[in-house]
Amino acid sequence: MPTISTSFFPLRYADDIDSLMGSLADIGADGVELEYRIPAAFWTQVKDALRLNSLAVRSLHNYCPIPLAFKHTGGSGDLVSLATTDREERNAAVRLTLQTIEQANDLEARAVVLHCGRVEMTHETDVLHDFRRSRSAILRAMKPWASSDAMRPLR
């Protein structure tokens, strides 16, 4: 039986929970990944519906449900960064991640999907492209010499 992410069916209204359960039953899903856009206001109803419909929760996508402080955002795996150098934000990310892990434990999920953040750095992509272009130009310029006597190995 398939496991389906709830990302295919956003929960905007409490009535959407019944529709989601019906859709999962229609496709024969026996498990779900709970995505990060599930509103905290519906969280208890979602958990109850999953248990009532005997759907196994395979994983939760951090941060699940949407933390109340971020309900206006619509959710994201990057609400706060676990990799930031800002201590306050990183502590918030750890605290919210622990809440997701607790939810996963409560639902007997075996995994939590994390977006660990990113490290801010200068992008050297343009420098690398310039190097590749200049190297290609040099090699094209040298090509006629490659077949000449000047490029033959010494004996």
Residue 100 maps to a domain: yes
Within-domain flag for 94: yes
The number of distinct structural domains making up the chain is 1
Domain range for 93: 3-113
Residue 114 makes CB contacts below 8 A (sequence gap 6+) with 62, 77, 82, 97
CA distances from residue 83 to 26, 37, 90, 121, 137 in whole angstroms, order as listed: 40, 21, 7, 13, 40
Q: What is the pTM of this model?
A: 0.70
CATH code of 61's domain: 3.20.20.150
Has residue 153 been placed in a domain? Answer: no
In a domain, 10, yes or no: yes
What angle in degrees, to the nearest 10, is found between the helix axes of 43-52 and 16-26?
A: 30
Per-residue pLDDT of the chain (155 residues; tens, 9 = 90+): 678 788 877 766 667 888 888 888 888 888 899 988 888 888 888 899 889 988 899 999 998 888 877 777 767 777 788 988 899 999 999 999 999 999 999 999 999 999 887 767 677 777 777 777 776 666 666 666 555 555 555 55
- Asked if residue 143 is part of any domain, the answer here is no
| Three-state SS at 58 | strand
Residue 53 lies in a domain: yes
Closest CA relative to residue 34, chosen from 13, 19, 55: 55
- Determine the pLDDT at residue 112: 95
Asked whether residue 26 is domain-assigned, the answer is: yes
Residue 139 has a pLDDT of 66
Does residue 56 form part of some domain? yes
Question: For 9-86, where are the alpha helices, taking DSSP H only?
Answer: 16-26, 43-52
